[in-house]
Chains A and B, each alone.
Chain A
Amino acid sequence: MSMKTSTRQIDGVAIVDCSGRITLGEGSITLRDTVRELLSKGNKKILLNLGDVNYIDSSGIGELVSAFTTVRNQGGDLKLLNLTKKVHDLLQITKLYTVFDVKDDEATAVKAFGK
């Protein structure tokens, strides 16, 4: 199953609902294109909902890092929401769990972006 995204807006935050696999090739490209498109349209508060992402490989991890640094470098912020256990464990062993701002409640996550 490849990766799919759909985007909605709440209180100025672009919430990207992701599902499937973020892996080398199509999945990573889909994530990259989605984040780039949001930035090009002026969306600098991006919340990636990974609740339906059941698999990420090292390329997908790299793409998450790339998205994070790209958004930060443009003065924005990117947070992660609803990690599955597999993704949570992967971010733990790669020491990225503390790099990303990870939330498990959407309303709290949206508020955390501030005004």
Chain B
Amino acid sequence: MTEHRVSYTLDSTLETVDSAEQTASRIAAEAGFDDDEVMRIAMAVREAAVNAVLHGNAYDPGKKVKLDIERTNYDLVITICDQGKGLDLNKIPDPLAPENLLKTSGRGIFLIRSFMDEVHIRPSHTGTEIKLVKHVHGTAAGGKEASQ
């Protein structure tokens, strides 16, 4: 049963990244997550918002970022959509591989997967949707991904 849902349509700016992070942090705290979990959720949302603004929409003022946050009895579900060309999941490097350790980028998706219970990425030619799920009672043991 859905208890609460909010939706925002945001510009492709750095302010959107901060705003998405702060909104997620507030709602996660209201949902009763402890400080560490709130930080992890907020950071995952920040990284997803960075991807949407920077890599998806490439700061294009004509493109928007959609942020949906849904709180149910069981989960906090955050969905972020951009209007870019679509993320190529095959081109995401493993940031833990020795040859990538000293790279200056490429850790965003890894951090998102590390901090959330479920991550669903749906790329398409009209943009990328990333859905982040944190179970309210922490029943999942680690990041789990389903990509479609």
Contacts and interface: CB of A to CB of B under 8 A. Distances in A.
Interface of A: 23-25, 57-59, 61-63, 65-66, 68-69, 86, 90, 93-96, 99
Nearest to A86: B39
Nearest to B115: A93
A90 B43 CA distance: 11
Interface in B46-84: 46-47, 50, 54
Given A25-B14, A86-B39, 5 more contacts: A24-B17, A58-B108, A59-B50, A61-B107, A94-B107
A63 B96 contact: no
Interface of B: 14, 17, 39, 43, 46-47, 50, 54, 95-96, 101-105, 107-108, 110-111, 114
B109 to A, nearest CB: 9
A94 B96 contact: yes
Contacts of A25: 14
A62 B110 CA distance: 13
Contacts of B101: 95-96, 99
B39 A57 contact: no
A58 B103 contact: no
A58 B39 contact: no
30 contacts: A24-B14, A24-B17, A24-B50, A25-B14, A57-B43, A57-B46, A57-B50, A57-B111, A58-B47, A58-B50, A58-B105, A58-B111, A59-B50, A59-B105, A61-B107, A62-B103, A65-B102, A65-B103, A68-B102, A69-B102, A86-B39, A93-B111, A93-B114, A94-B96, A94-B110, A94-B111, A95-B96, A95-B101, A96-B101, A99-B102
A9 to B, nearest CB: 27
A8 B17 CA distance: 33
A90 B50 CA distance: 18
Contacts of B95: 94
B107 to A, nearest CB: 4
Nearest to A23: B46
Nearest to A25: B14
